[in-house]
Amino acid sequence: MEKVRIGIIGIGGMGTSHAKNIVAGKVPNAELTAVCDINAERLEWAKQSFGDRVQRFDQADAFFQSQAFDAVLVATTHYDHPGLAIQALNYGYHTLIEKPAGVYTKAVREMNEVAQQSDKVFAIMYNQRTNPVYQKLKDLIDSGELGDLKRSIWIITNWYRPQSYYDAGGWRATWSGEGGGVLLNQDPHQLDLWQWMYGMPKRVRAFMSFGKYHNIEVEDDVTAYVEYENGATGLFVTTTGEAPGTNRLEVSGDRGKVVIEDDKLTFWRLRVSEREFNREFKGGFGSPECWKCEIPTPGDNSQHIGIMNDWVNAILHGTKLIAPGVEGIKGLTISNAMHLSAWTDSWVDIPFDEDLFYEKLKERIDQSTFKKNVHNVTLDVSGTH
Amino acid sequence: MEKVRIGIIGIGGMGTSHAKNIVAGKVPNAELTAVCDINAERLEWAKQSFGDRVQRFDQADAFFQSQAFDAVLVATTHYDHPGLAIQALNYGYHTLIEKPAGVYTKAVREMNEVAQQSDKVFAIMYNQRTNPVYQKLKDLIDSGELGDLKRSIWIITNWYRPQSYYDAGGWRATWSGEGGGVLLNQDPHQLDLWQWMYGMPKRVRAFMSFGKYHNIEVEDDVTAYVEYENGATGLFVTTTGEAPGTNRLEVSGDRGKVVIEDDKLTFWRLRVSEREFNREFKGGFGSPECWKCEIPTPGDNSQHIGIMNDWVNAILHGTKLIAPGVEGIKGLTISNAMHLSAWTDSWVDIPFDEDLFYEKLKERIDQSTFKKNVHNVTLDVSGTH
């Protein structure tokens, strides 16, 4: 195989953006050979844009049976990610799914079981893992520079969305269409990065408002407190209702503190560890000597294009993936635990009861009386996700 | 009266600092005429330092009966603040109490009732209210520049204390001696400023660790989530176990966001309110025009000396107090609610059951098996509180 032939299923906002990038040559070892969508207008757009060199399908089964490609990019709505990934893998296609991995972990666990038995390359579009500042923070944590972790606070409130965003798609911000709000649509990257750098929490206590700032039925404001096995704590604060919002990650450990803000990483490094200072120092008032270090974070943030190239390289050359598809369940587990905690107004231990989560989600879908005032529009998402 | 004659009861760390400031002439319209302490060494220190122009007492009753002063500064351990303030006011002295107002609101409420029936000037050492950055933020909130409030996050984790700090006094960081840890000793200023600028929350959910980073029985790590009447939320994160720690206050409202960090106030001002933009904008992706404004905060932070002068001026000239003593109950109410929430692992509505709080505190005092390895030392607190 010289070039990987790619079929994209779902050419709404994100799928369209990926299709354009591939056709523009930004994934040199790949070519777009097919697209699939149930929306006739989107297929017409594909015909106008790409002509007949890209096959078009309006049904998933025909798409998968076509063998018009080697690899499938799944960019449909969230609920369909696990089912379509399972189909793709079972047909023998390499598979890349958009985030989130799915809406509830039960379905994602089934997808992972199929993926683990497949020899195909299975990846997820966690395109923030290519960001050098988060790679560097992971490096500082993994290499022990920060020492034992104490606290992590991520204020990620710069996902502002006005009402017209929600009005642009009938599936958006509904329990039946997305299965959640800001946690399912905007935050999967941060939830993944959080566990990627910091590990999984052992329990979660979350507080949410549903439709606080918008005419929607799902959450648009979340505050979540978590505890880790070693006693460290964490906070995750997010909303689509604040402008201008903040994206500030603070991580503290026994050997200092890191803050990432404005895409810049600063490390306040303690010369001796705090635990050691605490034991040894006899002066009453005092604190460990601390150096403010500006840490270089070289490299470009290649984002979606980086993840597509990484996937294609893994297919062609067997290289290790930046974002293996089976890891998609981790961020979703935190997300589901937050929802379950808010719905039950109580602590949720991880792992939680996946059947209970699904039951509670289903209740919300079944009891929804929400009718959207929809203007179906394919939003230009370039640079937003 | 030309000069206010002041008696200080309690010349440990803070009382000593105040005494020195008065004797050094930093409160020009006041003079120190008496001190009281149960510790003979501290009285000997006063004798060596001030000679016989400052009377010395080793019993509160004799001190109050002496009429050797017009006004009393109460700088004993926290538990005694309300009782001594009641005594001082009943004897007809103007009264300034150190923070916190007390340990439990029930006692502070009794103090406030006495104060409200007294014609004497009753103040509290909330010396951070003199800080121009917090005064400016209060101004921005009160004048409507920030619009309706949405969220407030105070990360105040720069109260680092090593074990030797706790070992320097037998009363420190015990349920019987202080009635709490970081919330009672270090945070009263921030808890007061928080409610002073932002108002009182209506309910609280807090998470604490007791003796997490130190050999103490009280809390040294706190994360608290609060909700306000208008739907706004808040977070208060504090510890004495992190170095270098952070002091960052973020407040967001319908018209923008303010961040105070490194004693600098930055206002991200929206040209139109977010609520209006949300209704009017039809473009899907987009956010209100935002101006980053560096707001001047002129003036010195006069701190303890400022509060003492303010109190003395109110006594001499009837001016309005920066920090009226009766307002001490507000920050303590939030503090008590946080403790009660952590102790009961549940929500606490404000106002809460004060008898229940006292009962739970009493349980901790009675069941304490904590024995401290104490080296009694009077710490030099200049510049620390």
Q: What is the pLDDT of residues B9-60, one digit of tens each?
A: 999 989 999 999 999 999 999 999 999 999 999 999 999 999 999 999 999 9
Query: In chain B, which residues have their Cβ closer than 8 Å to the Cβ of A164?
Result: 281-284
Domain that holds residue A101: 4-128+303-324
Query: In chain B, which residues have their Cβ closer than 8 Å to the Cβ of A286?
Result: 162
Kindly tell me if the per-residue pLDDT of A368 is higher than 50.
yes
pLDDT computed for residue B381 by the predictor: 56
CB distance B257–A235 less than 8 Å?
Answer: no
> Residue A262 domain-assigned?
yes
The answer on A67 and A114 residing in a single domain is yes
> Residue A374 domain-assigned?
no
Kindly tell me if the per-residue pLDDT of A79 is higher than 50.
yes
> Smallest CA–CA separation between A160 and chain B, in Å?
7
> Residue A162 domain-assigned?
yes
Nearest-10 Cα torsion for A80, A86, A89, A91: -90
Please give the Cα distance from A332 to A329 (Å, whole number).
Answer: 5
In this predicted model, what pLDDT tens digit does every residue of A276-306 receive, in sequence order? 999 999 999 999 999 999 999 999 999 999 9
> Residue A86 domain-assigned?
yes
The answer on B270 and B185 residing in a single domain is yes
CB distance A244–B257 less than 8 Å?
Answer: yes
Query: In chain A, which residues have their Cβ closer than 8 Å to the Cβ of B282?
Result: 164
In this predicted model, what pLDDT tens digit does every residue of A120-146 receive, in sequence order? 999 999 999 999 999 999 999 999 999
Secondary structure (DSSP) of B25-64: TSSTTEEEEEEE-S-HHHHHHHHHHHGGGSEEESSHHHHH
CB distance A245–B223 less than 8 Å?
Answer: no
> Residue A99 domain-assigned?
yes
> Smallest CA–CA separation between A240 and chain B, in Å?
11
The answer on A281 and A164 residing in a single domain is yes
In this predicted model, what pLDDT tens digit does every residue of A317-327 receive, in sequence order? 999 999 999 99
Query: In chain A, which residues have their Cβ closer than 8 Å to the Cβ of B284?
Result: 162, 164-165, 168, 377, 379
Please give the Cα distance from A313 to A321 (Å, whole number).
Answer: 9
pLDDT computed for residue B375 by the predictor: 53
CB distance A155–B209 less than 8 Å?
Answer: no
Confidence of residue B171 (pLDDT cuts 50, 70, 90): confident
CB distance A270–B244 less than 8 Å?
Answer: yes
The answer on A155 and A111 residing in a single domain is no
Nearest chain B residue to A376 by CA distance is: B284
Q: What is the domain count for chain A? A: 2
Helices (H), B199-265: none
The answer on B47 and B173 residing in a single domain is no
pLDDT computed for residue A338 by the predictor: 98
pLDDT computed for residue A382 by the predictor: 52
Confidence of residue A377 (pLDDT cuts 50, 70, 90): low
CB distance B207–A225 less than 8 Å?
Answer: yes
Return the minimum-mean-pLDDT range out of A171-180, A202-211, A324-333, B332-341.
A171-180
Confidence of residue A218 (pLDDT cuts 50, 70, 90): very high
pLDDT computed for residue A375 by the predictor: 53
Kindly tell me if the per-residue pLDDT of A194 is higher than 60.
yes
Nearest chain B residue to A277 by CA distance is: B162
Confidence of residue A366 (pLDDT cuts 50, 70, 90): very high
CB distance A244–B212 less than 8 Å?
Answer: no
The answer on B85 and B70 residing in a single domain is yes
> Residue A182 domain-assigned?
yes
Mean pLDDT score of chain A: 95
Nearest chain B residue to A278 by CA distance is: B162
Confidence of residue A256 (pLDDT cuts 50, 70, 90): very high
The answer on B102 and B239 residing in a single domain is no
Strands B55-57 and B30-36: parallel
Q: For testing the chain B interface, which of A149, A150, A240 should be mutated: the one with the most B CBs within 10 Å? A: A150
In this predicted model, what pLDDT tens digit does every residue of A30-68 receive, in sequence order? 999 999 999 999 999 999 999 999 999 999 999 999 999
Secondary structure (DSSP) of A290-301: EEEEE----S--
Helix (H) or strand (E) run with residue B16 in it: helix B13-23
In this predicted model, what pLDDT tens digit does every residue of B115-169 receive, in sequence order? 999 999 999 999 999 999 999 999 999 999 999 999 999 999 999 999 999 998 7
> Residue A205 domain-assigned?
yes
Query: In chain B, which residues have their Cβ closer than 8 Å to the Cβ of A160?
Result: 274, 287
Please give the Cα distance from A278 to A366 (Å, whole number).
Answer: 55
Secondary structure (DSSP) of B72-96: EEE-S-GGGHHHHHHHHHHTT-EEE
Kindly tell me if the per-residue pLDDT of A374 is higher than 60.
no
Confidence of residue A383 (pLDDT cuts 50, 70, 90): very low
Confidence of residue B369 (pLDDT cuts 50, 70, 90): confident
pLDDT computed for residue A35 by the predictor: 98
> Residue A383 domain-assigned?
no
Which of A155, A244, A259 lies nearest to residue B287, judging by beta carbons?
Answer: A244
Query: In chain B, which residues have their Cβ closer than 8 Å to the Cβ of A241?
Result: 150, 274, 278
CATH code for the domain in which residue B70 is found? 3.40.50.720
The answer on A314 and A294 residing in a single domain is no
Confidence of residue B170 (pLDDT cuts 50, 70, 90): confident
The answer on B141 and B203 residing in a single domain is yes
CATH code for the domain in which residue B264 is found? 3.30.360.10
In this predicted model, what pLDDT tens digit does every residue of A94-104 receive, in sequence order? 999 999 999 99
pLDDT computed for residue A127 by the predictor: 95
The answer on B361 and B258 residing in a single domain is yes
Confidence of residue A9 (pLDDT cuts 50, 70, 90): very high
Token duo for residue A36: 């699939």
The answer on B146 and B72 residing in a single domain is no
Please give the Cα distance from B20 to B49 (Å, whole number).
Answer: 9
Q: Identify any residues that bridge with B34 across adjacent strands, giving them in sequence order.
A: B7, B55
Q: What pTM was estimated for this model as a whole?
A: 0.95
Q: Identify any residues that bridge with B36 across adjacent strands, giving them in sequence order.
A: B9, B57
Kindly tell me if the per-residue pLDDT of B234 is higher than 90.
yes
The answer on A289 and A279 residing in a single domain is yes
Please give the Cα distance from B14 to B76 (Å, whole number).
Answer: 9
